[in-house]
Amino acid sequence: MFCGINGLFYTGRPDYREPANTNSTANPNNPDALQTLKLRLAKGEITVEEYSEMIQILSGNEALIAKKDHHLLEASDAEQPRKAAERTLIGESKKPRVSLRKSLV
């Protein structure tokens, strides 16, 4: 059994399966690409080295995406207090309240 990078295992059999509890770093945004790579490796269409290179490319993309997500999260977190303050300043609770109900008399 060959242990590839990123915790993927290759048994040499076309119907190999990834072990349970694998620590895969597969890009969750593009699972199809990883599956295609696995199949191509299993069918012998690409070598283990080519597979490794492609996985690295996928992992790199994933890292970029993760970095971008991190920035987005940071921006989102930074924005929340300001938005909360704005809501307090112009919030509905600060508006004068009035009842339009008429007395029955």
Which chain residues interact with another protein by CB under 8 A?
Answer: 92, 95-102
Least Å distance between CB 86 and another protein? 16
Which two structure tokens, joined as six digits, stand for 45?
Answer: 């269409």
Q: State which residue, 71 or 97, has the beta carbon closest to another protein.
A: 97
Q: What's the chain's Rg over C-alpha atoms?
A: 27
Least Å distance between CB 96 and another protein? 4
Q: State which residue, 31 or 91, has the beta carbon closest to another protein.
A: 91
Q: State which residue, 81 or 96, has the beta carbon closest to another protein.
A: 96
Q: State which residue, 21 or 103, has the beta carbon closest to another protein.
A: 103
Strand partners, 3: 9
Least Å distance between CB 87 and another protein? 14
The set of residues, in sequence order, having a beta carbon less than 8 Å from that of 11 and lying 6+ positions away, is: 1, 2
CA distance 79 to 71: 12
CA distance 26 to 99: 58
Least Å distance between CB 105 and another protein? 10
